[in-house]
Amino acid sequence: MYKTILVTLDGTSTDRAIIEHVKQLAALTKSRVVLLHVADGWAARTFGSDAVGPEVGEDIAYLEKVKAEFTSKNIPTETELAYGEPAAEIVKWVQRGNCDLIAMSTHGHRFIADLFLGATATRVRHGVNVPVLLLKAK
């Protein structure tokens, strides 16, 4: 059903909802998983893949830690670190044709907060042509 599931991670506790869900889904569908985090700090937005510093190191370590959870369940998993504005980078990654499902946790903001904070999930789902699975974090 799904050959490749893209799991977007923001490095916060909201990630747990989508991680646990996708572990089960990927096992059932025998899918490959790609874990994508977009570094969006000043250095990442300014220098892109040339950015260095504690933030980038922490992001890489986080992706590897989550990858180990999936591989321990025999789920083929890769990691990707992008740099810049999260929604735009996720859409770019998907437009390359590398997945057939996007899985994201949402923070569950409501109207006013979404206007000011810019709902990444909303921007992604309007910018891609593949299914998007959204799970609201508890």
Domain covering 4-136 in this structure, CATH number = 3.40.50.620
- 30 or 110, greater pLDDT: 30
pLDDT reported for residue 47: 59
pLDDT reported for residue 44: 61
Residue 27 pLDDT more than 70?
Answer: yes
Contact in structure between 5 and 31 (CB atoms under 8 Å):
yes
Give the chain's mean pLDDT. 85
pLDDT reported for residue 123: 83
Residue 28 pLDDT more than 90?
Answer: yes
- Quick: pLDDT tens for 56-72: 788 899 999 999 999 99
pLDDT reported for residue 127: 84
**Where are the chain's structural domains?**
4-136
pTM here? 0.86
Neighbours of 59 (CB within 10 A): 23
Write down how long the chain is: 138
Residue 118 pLDDT more than 50?
Answer: no
- Quick: pLDDT tens for 70-102: 999 999 999 999 988 899 999 999 998 789 999
Question: Would you give the DSSP letter of residue 80?
Answer: E
In this structure, which long-range contacts are made by residues 119-125, counting pairs with CB atoms below 8 Å and at least 24 apart in sequence?
A: 120/10, 120/86, 120/87, 120/90, 123/87, 123/88, 123/91, 124/8, 124/87, 124/90, 124/91, 124/94
